[in-house]
Structure 1
Amino acid sequence: MTRWKNWGVVVVSGLLIIASWITGWDALMIAAAVVAGYQIAISAIQALRVKTVSIDLLVTVAAIGALFINNYWESAAVTFLFAFGGALERATLNKTRKALTDLVDAAPETATVLREGEAQSIEIWELVPGDIVLIKNGEQVPVDGTVVTGHGGVDEATITGESVPAEKAEGEEVFAGTWLRSGLLRVKAIGIGSDTALARIIHRVEDAQDDKARTQTFMEKFSGYYTPGVMLTALAIGLITRNVELALTLLVIGCPGAMVISIPVSIVAGIGRAARDGVLIKGGEYLETSARVSAVVVDKTGTLTNGRPMLTDVVVLDDAYSEDQVLTLAAGAETASEHPLAEAIIRGAEQRELAVGMVDKADPVAGKGIRATIDGRTIAVGTADLLDQAPDRTPLLELNTAGKTAMYVGVDGCAVGIVAVADTLRDTAGQAVEALHDNGIRVIMATGDAKRVAENIAVDLGIDEVRAELMPEDKLVIVKELQSRGHTVAMVGDGVNDTPALAQADIGIAMGAAGSPAAIETADIALMADRLPRLPYALALAKRTVRTMHLNIIIALLTVALLLFGVLFGGVTMAIGMLVHEASVLLVIAIAMLLLRPTLKEGEETITQRGARKEALAS
């Protein structure tokens, strides 16, 4: 039915016009005008009922007027071209919404659940939280949940835009709509159906594509005055010149169709493109504001850094020991520690495949470190206070100055080495900061960490300004200060400690929001993938979208101006006017659709590219 509504009327009307040309029967031309114009007239009447003077009314009046002055070809041509343009417009708008369609299609419908020890295939709606779902290699993950047993690589492109499968093991989260590409998983269901990350994303994109930008709202108000103005102008010219055809032609060429469609189609395309690449933009208003961002305030931990301490250095102070031996001793002692940095040292030893010894006895010393007995030796990891002899402090101070947390490793009271840990920079942090600078955006780091640590990171990344040792409310002050200096500010944070600053910023951005309902619902922009380069990508896409909107508005206004000049001085007819008018509509749609081209520059496939590759492999 929808396809007939789009194209059936156009086809029938076109065939009637051709038949009229062949036979010379005017009745067929009138029939063509009626077939093509019937729905247009209905739409005009419906708009009038809500006190709106629409474009459809201009076309309807012009077509009926042409019939009354026996200009049947003009009437048929105007209605046919308008119907044809409308069908193309709807088809192309549907194409720009394909990102949403792809997400909806990604939603699974069935699941294999383990009940009473047996695997049963059931509909998604039959699942309940707590069910254990079995997912085999090549199957779709049907729920949001936690891996209970198993190991495998999960393709999370539909959620994060990432093309490389994420390794999942016991305790890891998985999301509905993703695909298991290797291994076998048993997953405890937590989110089902509308309570999944995928469902929340679909809801967000759906709302965002319908949300209006400020420019769109202005243009709609403008057209509300413009369209009646065109009708009154045409009426006045008709009365003054006594030229009905001229007045009707002015009605046709005055249609602001390209002007009205230029902005929504750009917004839909821009938000759709972003969604395919794992960036959720709340709506047109936020897209437009993002294009003006001139300063970005970023938190350090978990944003510029991985948010997880890592072993960075092992320094030998006693030649009788190697680096691996120092690290083995330190890791052995730390197995008895509950300190957050202990895990980093143990993990560092595991990565070097070192055999960590068992602790016979352990004695944590508050604020200083830990002493442990291993194979009859007393191993200390921590400050110099745990040692009997004063060690060389120079290497430790150098590491501390570099922003690392350094600890002595002692054996029976003597220092044999130093281990250092730090929250390491994300591999892509430098690339992201450079991309922001390329877009003319100032980058400010705001962190509660020590000033020395923050300054070292800022130097490494080329950050413009550092604010350290802050409380959450201090970040709010920084955002206000930047705004008072004329900046449009984006704040990037975790959405918890940074909530006041995120709320104050012109654009609040949450990173790694997959699976976080609060982040998806509250952030103006949510970066589903935990990758910082998506930030400059999102801001650059917003600028491209706004530039496209402005270009399309210029094309629409220029078209009307040229047609008006052509009618008054160049003999442009009603049919030619409608043809040029519809051509301008298609042009602005085509320009807007250029936003759908993949432009993500992270050495990754986009969802679109990945889908095409899957289809090629399947065929």
Structure 2
Amino acid sequence: MQKWLMKNRNRLTAISGILIVLAFAAKWLFKSETGASGLLLAASLIGGFPISASAWQALKVKVISIDLLVTLAILGAFVIQEFEESAIVAFLFLFGAYLEQKTLAKTRSAIKELVEMVPETALRQTEDGDFEEVDLDDLDEGDILLVKTGGKIPVDGEVVYGSGTANEASITGESMPLGKKPGDPVYAGTILENGTIRIKAEKVGDETTFGKIIELVEEAQDSKSQAERLIDRFSKYYTPVVLLLAIIVGLISQDLELAVTILVLGCPGALVIGVPVSNVAGIGNGAKQGILFKGSEVITKFSKVDTIMFDKTGTLTYGDPRVSQVKKYGQGQLAEQLLVSVEKESAHPLAKAITGYYKDLEAKEVESSQVLQGGGIVAQVAGRQVLVGNRYLLDQYHVPVTKEMEKNLEELASVGNSLVLVAVNGQLELALGLKDEIRAGVKEDLAALKKLGVKNLLLLSGDNQKTVDLVAEELGLTEAYGQLLPEDKAEFVKRRQAAGEIVAFVGDGINDSPSLARADIGIAMGSGTDVAIETSNVVLMNGSFDRIPRALALAKATRRNMIENITIALAVVAVLLVSVLASSWMNMAIGMFVHEGSILVVILNAMRLLAYRSKLQKSRKLIENNFSQAEGPYTKGIKSIQ
């Protein structure tokens, strides 16, 4: 019976509404009071049946629900033979639930849009070299797939043949197409705008980055914030209080109609729906922009952040450094070859820069290597001990540094270089200075964070202090600390939290995972790596720094919207209850109409978040539009490159 009612609830609502219209037609056009009463009675029974069934289901688990209040109100109207009011109350309550269902579905449209971006089939290469169309569920890692112009990429993988441009907006939130060639990564749910490529599947199904995004957004939209849990508890006790109030008023006044009216007007429907619909809309907006909030609680807490700490490399800078200066001591040339041998086995951004700088040097076989966290690499190459890292690593292995060397290192650091030191068999042989460019627009984005109420902006880095100070000075950061190990950064987070600050930490989600996990809000830059998604609270899928102030502005807007909805809901209930007790014009039908109207108002207010854009986004969009309309030689050149 319950399943049948759920399936046919909307039909029963429509039938109830039609019967009410026919009843008023019978009364006004045909002057038939008996016919009108009969139709209204039928409308009350049809409309009240699913409401009373829901109330009974709630009572079976010892919950006094809103449905019970409305059921009692309908029964009370029956007793006093006010069939017009009982029919209208039943219809409005059902119609309000229908509107709530439809608008909530709209706020969850981000999930539907994401799911629709994944194709249902793929072209897989067979043993004879042809391609066959297969279901996505039949794909395995290692399969070779063909994607043509306009096709959706079905898996995470690597291009092995062909070239083209892919729109990765579903992953990064950015619509600018990216060129793809052999060796480049591609992601499920993105679109190949032109070209034809073959890709080797590396992650399929739910394991793809896109699959994890969908799972993350679903979990976030289904989670409850502290405010929602508080309102659930409030409603649990509020509903019996309204029932008790109605009984007391009825006994004192001996007015059953007044008691029944209080039952109807006291329903906290708008209060119950107002907070979750705001959170769902805010999470959906973020998902479309490549900003993933891991739950409603994250939004609330993020909106209150007053301290943000940043890693340097890959966060404030591009993470693509270049070798700018080299100092050699003793066996410098041999040290360069040993350095290249070690760095070719590393995935660190500095390693890539070094191997690119020494691309003509032949590497030797590395016999063994060990990573010293926060220090560098200790390796055995061609029978020699090779240390590659920072000053901390040299100190751990008691490598002597002369006054001349010390002066060289200070000179390299004073102009903003990151230092990579190479010691062979306990002697410093090589010092490299590498520079990394600060991300474009970071200074403006940091200023935007300050305008949004962030008081403290800190730079925490493993780089040398002088380089860190130069970056902090250029960007106008509040504080800057260098030569820190991962555990040192986490300790900084803990210390500021102990001082009463609400701390967000921004990092790459891998070496900064202790700090990301420790912070009140961990924000992971990058393309949604597994570690980033698991460790952080907020994931910025495209690694664009301007997403941080966007995310904070959206979190604040969502919390503000939630407070507005709570205020609207409580104000409407208060006004209705005062009106029914202090005026003669308020009745059950009018009250129910206003009550359902308040539910619609809070839903529509929350839906504004789906189209929310911060001032920063609007100004950037204006610049982009002006740029796209410009036709000077410089802009034409840039467009041709893009």
TM-score normalised by length of structure 2: 0.79
Q: Is the 8 A contact 1:298 1:444 kept in 2?
A: yes
1:103-149 C-alpha deviation (Å, 9 max, x unpaired): 11112111111222112221112211101111112111011111112
8 Å CA contact retained: 1:6, 1:90: no
Output the CA distance in 1 between the equivalents of 2:16 and 2:313: 64
How has the CA–CA distance of structure 1 residues 361 and 539 changed in structure 2, closer, same or farther, with 3 Å as cutoff?
Answer: closer
CA drift of 1:503 comes to 1.9
Q: Whole-Å Cα distance in 2 between the matches of residues 346 and 511 of structure 1? A: 25
Determine whether 1:570 maps to 2:583.
yes
Determine if the alignment matches structure 1 residue 15 to structure 2 residue 27: no
Q: Does the CA-based 8 Å contact 1:143-1:196 persist in structure 2?
A: yes
Say whether residues 1:459 and 2:470 are aligned partners. Answer: no
Q: Matched residues in 2 for 1:462 and 1:544: separation?
A: 26
What is the correspondence of 1:554-569 to structure 2 with a 5 Å cutoff? 554-569=567-582
- Shift in Å, 1:239: 0.9
Deviation, 1:555, is 0.9
Distance 1:342 1:267, change over 3 A: closer
Q: CA 1:360–1:582 in 2, change beyond 3 Å: closer, same or farther?
A: closer
> Residues 187-212 of structure 1: CA distance to partner in whole angstroms, max 9, x if unpaired?
11011112211111111111110100
Q: Does 1:310 align with 2:322?
A: yes
Question: Residue 531 of structure 1 aligns with which residue?
Answer: 544
1:599 and 2:610 are equivalent in the alignment:
no
Tell me which moved more, 289-298 or 518-527.
518-527
Question: In the alignment, residue 279 of structure 1 is paired with which amino acid?
Answer: I
1:550 to 560, 563, 569: 563
- Check conservation: 1:55, 1:257, Cα contact below 8 A: yes
> What's the counterpart of residue 498 of structure 1?
512
- 2:262 equivalent to 1:264: no
**Aligned counterparts of 1:51 and 1:258: Cα–Cα separation in 2:** 22
Deviation at 1:467, TM superposition (A): 1.1
1:346–1:500 Cα change, 3 Å: closer
Matches within 5 A, 1:301-380: 301-310=313-322, 344=353
Consecutive unaligned residues in structure 1, runs of 5 or more? 315-329, 350-355, 363-393, 408-418, 606-619
Match of 1:107 among 118, 123, 136: 118
Q: Is contact 1:294-1:487 (8 Å) kept?
A: yes
Note if contact 1:235-1:247 (Cα within 8 Å) is conserved in structure 2. Answer: yes
Please say if 1:222 is aligned against 2:202: no
1:273 aligns with 2:285: yes
SS at match of 2:321: strand
Cα distance 1:361–1:132, how it changes in 2: closer, same or farther (>3 A)?
closer
Q: How does 1:77-92 map to 2 (within 5 A)?
A: 77-92=88-103
1:521 maps to: 534
Q: % of aligned pairs identical?
A: 44
Relative to 1, partners in 2 of residues 1:569 and 1:50: Cα closer, same or farther, differing over 3 Å? same
1:470 to 481, 484, 487: 484
- 256-265 vs 595-604, which moves further: 595-604
Change (3 A) 1:230 1:130: same
C-alpha deviation, 1:167, in angstroms: 2.0
Query: Which stretch has the larger CA shift, 245-254 or 10-19?
Result: 10-19
Matched letter for residue 71 of structure 1: E
The match for 2:160 is 148
Is this contact kept in 2: 1:134–1:185, CA < 8 A? yes
- How far, CA to CA, are the matches of 2:197 and 2:472 in structure 1? 41
How far did residue 160 of structure 1 move?
Answer: 1.4
Counterpart amino acid of 1:20? A
CA contact 1:162–1:604 (8 Å) conserved in 2: no
SS of equivalent to 2:153: coil
Distance 1:195 1:253 in 2: 49
1:64 and 2:75 equivalent? yes
CA distance in 2 between counterparts of 1:42 and 1:182 reads 56
* 489-498 or 299-308, which deviates more: 489-498
| Alpha carbons of structure 1 residues 312 and 28: separation in structure 2 relative to 1, 3 Å | farther
Q: Summarize deviations over 1:43-88 as a string: whole Å, max 9, x none.
A: 1111111111110110111011101111011101111111111100
User: 1:268 Cα deviation (Å)?
Assistant: 0.6
Q: Secondary structure of 1:45's match?
A: helix
Pairwise CA distance, 1:497: 2.1
> How far apart are 1:538 and its partner, in Å?
1.2
Count of residue correspondences: 542
User: Residues 448-506 of structure 1, C-alpha deviation per residue, up to 9 Å, x if partnerless?
Assistant: 00111111111121111101110111111111121122210011122232222222211
Distance 2:7 2:26 in 1: 27
1:244 equivalenced with 2:247 (yes/no): no
Q: Residue in 1 aligned with 2:41? A: 30
Change (3 A) 1:360 1:487: closer
- CA RMSD, Structure 1 to Structure 2 (Å): 3.1
Distance apart, 1:573 and its partner CA: 0.1
